[in-house]
Amino acid sequence: AQSVTQPDIHITVSEGASLELRCNYSYGATPYLFWYVQSPGQGLQLLLKYFSGDTLVQGIKGFEAEFKRSQSSFNLRKPSVHWSDAAEYFCAVVPAKTSYDKVIFGPGTSLSVIP
C-alpha cells in the first residue's frame, strides 16, 4: 500500500547535538517531498521541499534534507539543535503522476531537546 512512514515516534537530543529524523515513502514514482514543523498549539509551517534536481535541499531554521531514491527516503537533518527546535515534525508527500492536489502526511516525530 502507498504510505509515508516516520519510524521514530519520539526523539530526545541534547541542545547542540546533531539531529536526523527519518522519512520513508512507498510510491511507485518519485513523489514531491516536504518537511513541516508544528510547534505546540500551532499550525504547520513548511521547512523545506524537494521536487527534482539536487538531492540535498536546504530549508529554513538551519535544516536540510537529503533525498535518496534507492532507499525511498527523505531524511531531515540539523547539525546543531537549539532548544526552540522542540516540536512535532511531519514528512509529507504529493504522489507523482496524480493531480498534485492530494497531500499525504506521515504520522510525525516528536522532538524533545534537553538544555
Partner 1 sequence: NAGVTQTPKFQVLKTGQSMTLQCAQDMNHNSMYWYRQDPGMGLRLIYYSASEGTTDKGEVPNGYNVSRLNKREFSLRLESAAPSQTSVYFCASKSRGTGFTYEQYFGPGTRLTVT
Instruction: Tell me the three cell numbers of residue 16.
Output: 547542540
The whole-angstrom separation of Cα 25 and Cα 47 is 18
CB of 72 to partner 1, least distance (A): 18
User: Among residues 70 and 99, whose Cβ is nearest to partner 1?
Assistant: 99
Q: Where in 52-91 is the site for partner 1 (CB under 8 A)?
A: 90
Among 28, 52, 70, 102, binds partner 1 (CB under 8 A): 102
Q: Where in 14-53 is the site for partner 1 (CB under 8 A)?
A: 32, 34, 42-46, 49, 51
CB of 11 to partner 1, least distance (A): 15
Per-residue b/e over 37-71, b at no fewer than 16 CB within 10 Å? beeeeeebeebbbbeeeeeebebeeebbbbbeeee
